[in-house]
Amino acid sequence: MAYREEDAILYALAVGTPADQLDLVFERNLRVLPTYGLVLGLWVADAAGALGAFRPQDALHGAQTLNVHKPLPPEGDIDVHGRVAAVWDKGSAAVLEVVAECDHFTAGYSIFLPRQGGWGGERGPSAVRADNPAPVGPVWSGSYATSTQQAALYRLTGDRHLIHIDPEAAHAAGLPGVILHGLCTLGIAAREVAEAAGARPWELASLRARFTAPVRPGDTIALSCRRGGDGAIAFTAQAAGATVLNAGSAVYSPQGAADPG
C-alpha cells in the first residue's frame, strides 16, 4: 500500500487532529498516527467481501485490534498481507476474523454477519474484552465534538462505503441517517486517550475496542478511562446517550516516539 505525506496528514485531520499539532499535520518532522495502519490494512476486509466471504451491505464492523511493531514512515509503500484468521458460528449470526499484517503493524478486523450463523461451527470468544488488571488511579474523561463534515472528510482516506455519505443508502440499511466510520471514532479515541496516558498520540503501541453503536456526524464523543495495573488504559466512549466503543484498551510506549524506519 503506497501513501504520501499528504495522505498521512489527511488522515490526522480526519480524526480531529488540531492544526497546531504540527508533528502530525506538517510535513516537517512528520509523525504518522499508528491508527493510520487500520486504513492501510482495510483492503483485506474489503477483499474478503469482494471474494464472496460476506455481503458488505449485510455486514457490521464488530471489533478492532491493532498491534504496532514499528512506526510508519512519513510516506512509503508498505507490503501488507491479509488472511482470514477464523470464522465463528454465533447461532443467529457469524463473525469473520480478518487479519492484515506487515513489518509495521498487525491489525485484526472482526466482521459481524447477522443471520449467517447456525451451521454448527465453533462459537469462538464471546467478545473482545479489556482483560487488564483492576484499574488504578483516578478516572480521566474528555470529549471530542465531531463536525457534520467528519464522515465526508474521513471517507477520503479510503473507506467509501455509502452509509457514510448517502442518506438513502443509510436509511436502506436501517440507520437513522449517515453515520461516522467506526474506525474514525476509534482513531479519535486513540488520539484523545493518549492524554490520559501522559503520552503522545504517535506513541500508541496497541489498541483494541468493540463497536457497539454508531456515531452521527456532529455528535460529541465522550471518553472515560482509567489506567490498569499493567499500565494499559481501559476506555469506553459514548455519544448521544449510547455506548459507541466498549471494552477499549490502549497501550502507549516511548518506543513509538522513535524515528520511523
What is the rounded CA–CA span in Å between residue 178 and residue 149? 11
Which position among 37, 117, 182, 248 bears the catalytic label? 182
Residue 182 annotated to the active site: yes
Is the CA virtual torsion 135, 34, 199, 21 positive or negative? negative
**213/245 Cα distance (integer angstroms):** 7
**Selected catalytic residue, list 179, 188, 221, 233:** 179
In the residue annotation, 104 being an active-site residue is answered as no
Q: 2 is written with which cell numbers?
A: 503506497
Name the catalytic one among 111, 159, 187, 188. Answer: 159
* Counts for the chain of helices (H) and strands (E), in that order: 6, 11
Buried b (16+ CB within 10 A) or exposed e, 83-110: ebeebbbbeebbbbbbbbbbebbbbbbb
How far, in Å, are 28, 38, 169 from residue 145 at the CA level?
Answer: 28, 22, 25
- 49 given a catalytic annotation: no
Q: Which of 61, 161, 164, 181 is catalytic?
A: 164
Catalytic, 108? Answer no
Catalytic residue positions, numbered: 159, 164, 179, 182
